[in-house]
Amino acid sequence: MSVSNNFLNLMMTNKLDQAYALTNENAIVGTTFDRFQIKVRQELDTDFLKNKNCDFEIKAVNPKQTYRTRLSRYLNGSKAEADLLNVEYYPCEVPFQISLRLNRNGNWKVINFQSHAD
């Protein structure tokens, strides 16, 4: 989840080149840096949020990752860690989700981010 927090912080401080480096550079987040910048403007009004005292704490993570869930996966011969996580934020009452996927190298990458209806 540190990748998710870092990604959001980089977007809010307009360090979009560093934020883009945390993505898997797919069609959803933008296959080019220019397309990524367009998506950021569409999904998150950083100018609006920058001047407010918004709460950027994680509000929810799905799927739920309990020790029981990990143990159950391990005992069933599956990977103990989920390879997809959705992290929910509500900065200034704006529902915002960052989706992460574990890549082949074992690194979490942002595969999608979006504001959405609650």
Enumerate domains of the chain plus CATH numbers. Answer: 2-115 (3.10.450)
As a whole number of angstroms, the distance between CA 63 and CA 49 comes to: 27
Mean pLDDT of 56-74: 73
Dump pLDDT digits (tens) for 28-59.
999 999 999 999 999 987 777 677 777 788 88
Q: What is the pLDDT of residue 80?
A: 57
As a whole number of angstroms, the distance between CA 19 and CA 29 comes to: 11
Mean pLDDT of 54-83: 72
User: Do 23 and 29 contact (CB within 8 A), yes or no?
Assistant: yes
Q: Is the pLDDT of residue 4 over 70?
A: yes
92, two tokens: 């200034």
